[in-house]
Structure 1
Amino acid sequence: MTTTKLTWLRKNLFSTWYNSLLTFVCLILICWVTWSASTWIITQAQWQVISANLHLFLVGRFPQSLYWRIWIVLEIIVTFSSLTWGITTNKQNLKWQIFGLLVVNSGILLLAFSLNSTSQLWLISTTFLIIAGFSLGRKFSQILLPWLSLFWLGSFPIILWLIGGGFGLKPLSTNLWNGLLLTLLMAVISIVLSFPFGVLLALGRTSNLPVVRWFSILYIEIIRGVPLIGILFLAQVMLPLFLPTNLRLDRLLRGIAGLVLFSAAYMAENVRGGLQSIPRGQIEAAKALGLNTPFVIILVILPQALRAVIPAIVGQFIGLFKDTSLLSLVGLVELTGIARSILAQQQFIGRYAEVYIFIGLIYWIFCYSIALASRRLEKQL
């Protein structure tokens, strides 16, 4: 093993004198950057801005007396996520999965030490739910797998009910939905709505009906030629002009409309690439078996087309998640918008690096998790 590593180093990093020189220069540069960054993180950075405003980063101005709703939402998401994790776990990588489970639980328990007693109890219960969900998913994977998508779909209205209130709970204005909470809600809702809309546009662009095809082409090309910030401003300003005077859409709904309209156009082009990869013979064979056009599309074309463009679709989802940061420019106080409010506090003026490094870390964690999930889905399909 050691000989193999030495051979690889000699072949790739020290094959010639200039490769050796370049390797040493890069090592010195990496060590200098690492040392400088570590020194700043440990001795100069003021991380109090994060600890003092952690609740603002996560839930913004959500009333503290109603935090129990957010904790229940977190428990629901954690339970179904760990259940999904257990169901989709590969037996060959079980040791790594258990190691990852221990790392996640250890991180949650370490976080609990810096919180109050109520939050500590909620986080401890979260660790138990992670373990229980993973174990149940592993043990009853064949039974639970057909119901998994229904579990997630059923949990979504419950989550919205807990956050927004109504039907027995105190209603809460969307102006109090801020921070990471708003970012995740906007991203998830926009992704869920833009996907079917994009598929319909892709099918419309390949349709034999001239009206449907040209409408889809015009929509896709016009939207793709306009920047997202322009679409968001149009959704906030122009959309109410097309509605009845007695109907006033919430700013949050207008923001979702802008994201969905923009993302659907790019999603349509990704799906169209998958549709074009399907051989014509499969369509003719399906019709020869007696399937009509809707069943040919649903049962034969779309499953293969979507499987072929999973990386492009996931890339679109990741881009949409990061694009939610532009909502702060149209008055929605999501994660980036709440950071501007925190930096306006007198005692934390000028702490841009700490705040935006923390925000960047949050975005990276979620985007990398989406990428990992997509790779696992791609392997299974």
Structure 2
Amino acid sequence: MTNISLNSIIIFFHKIRKDLFSNVFNTFMSLVLILSISLVFLNTFEWLIFDANWKVVGSNLHLFAFGSFPSDEQWRPAIWIISLLGISIVTLFGPKWKWLRQNLLIAWISTIPLGLYLLYGGFGLTPIMSRHWGGLTLTILLTTFSSLLSLPLGIVLALCRNGSLPLIKKLSSVYIDVMRAIPLISVLFFGQLLIPLFLPVGIEIDRVWRAIFAFTLFVSAYIAEDIRGGLQSIPKTQIDAANSLGLNQYQIIQLILIPQALRIALPALTNQSIGLFQNTSLMAILGLVELLGVGRSILANPEFIGQYIEVYVWLACVYWLVCTIMAILARHLEQRITINSGNF
């Protein structure tokens, strides 16, 4: 084992020398590049450790996490975020007990009503209005519920656009093309400012749910195209085989088309989810104090004026961490689906 490791190291360094230092020009360019990266890294490290003032982050961690949620009730969103993180860890590194793996989907789904109960309150908890929600809690809420509603709507749109009924096919095509041609910020403005104008007098939809509705309308169009690509990659022979077995159209869609289309489109769907999480930052422009909105409000505090770099570096790290967790979970799910498909 030691000899194999030593040989691998020797081969690795020999390959580096061959690729980077094969002639005078490559050697010069490699040394310049290495020196530049080293200087950037050292200057960044020096600023992070010695020059940056992280008090703006440390003294406002509760705002970044929970927004203006009442301080004596912040344990409620904290429990919800910890439950999401715990289920993520169990999904990735938990024991491979069969009963646990079978109930992971139920655990993930149960976090949705749990989050609503903890945030809204009632049934023994103090009711909290959504205007007090904010920070990472609100960002995760917008992402989770928008994704939950966008996926089934996107599947329906993809099936309609891929169907044989001319009118439904045309309507779904027009909807998808129109939504993909409109900037997201315009759809969000529509959700926040114009939807209340179309509602009857006395009926009002919460601003958070208007944002979720707008995100759902927008993202579902992109998900529909991802699913449609998955549907088109399924061989027609499978449908012919299903017809020969006597399956009806509903059974073909439920048992053959949708599972395979979702598996094929999973990388693209993951990209949509990550993009949705990042795009929730646009709500800071429209008055919802999500993660970026909290950063903007903190920078408006005279005590922290001018500390833009620290705040935005911190926000970038938070966004990177959450997006990385989402990508790893999706990759883990993709691997499990591939293994199960291979076993089948």
Q: TM-score, normalised by structure 1?
A: 0.84
Could you tell me how far 1:75 is from its partner in structure 2? 4.1
Identity within the alignment, %: 42
Could you tell me how far 1:306 is from its partner in structure 2? 1.4
What corresponds to 1:318 in structure 2? 274
What corresponds to 2:3 in structure 1? none
For the pair 1:187 / 2:143, whether they are aligned, the reply is yes
Q: Partner letter of residue 30 of structure 1?
A: I
Could you tell me how far 1:244 is from its partner in structure 2? 1.9
For the pair 1:224 / 2:180, whether they are aligned, the reply is yes
**Deviations for 1:338-376, whole angstroms, at most 9, x for unmatched residues?**
111100111110100000000000000011111111222
The 2-side partners of 1:248 and 1:32 are apart by 56
What corresponds to 2:319 in structure 1? 363
What corresponds to 1:84 in structure 2? 91
| Structural mapping, 1:51-130, within 5 Å | 51-86=58-93
What corresponds to 2:25 in structure 1? 18
Runs of 5+ in structure 1 lacking a partner? 87-133
2:203 to 247, 254, 262: 247
2:304 to 317, 331, 348: 348
For the pair 1:290 / 2:220, whether they are aligned, the reply is no
The 1-side partners of 2:72 and 2:17 are apart by 62
What corresponds to 2:222 in structure 1? 266
Could you tell me how far 1:243 is from its partner in structure 2? 2.2
Q: Partner letter of residue 124 of structure 2?
A: G
The 1-side partners of 2:224 and 2:307 are apart by 41
For the pair 1:9 / 2:20, whether they are aligned, the reply is no
Could you tell me how far 1:31 is from its partner in structure 2? 0.9
1:236 to 170, 192, 200: 192
1:197 to 153, 162, 166: 153
The 2-side partners of 1:85 and 1:236 are apart by 37
Contact 2:196 2:205 in 1 (8 A): yes
| Structural mapping, 1:25-64, within 5 Å | 25-64=32-71
The 2-side partners of 1:194 and 1:319 are apart by 13
Q: Partner letter of residue 208 of structure 2?
A: L
Contact 2:270 2:330 in 1 (8 A): yes
Q: TM-score, normalised by structure 2?
A: 0.93
Size of the alignment, in residue pairs? 330
**Deviations for 1:22-55, whole angstroms, at most 9, x for unmatched residues?**
1101001001101111121122211110011111
| Structural mapping, 1:137-216, within 5 Å | 137-138=95-96, 141-216=97-172
Runs of 5+ in structure 2 lacking a partner? 1-6, 338-344
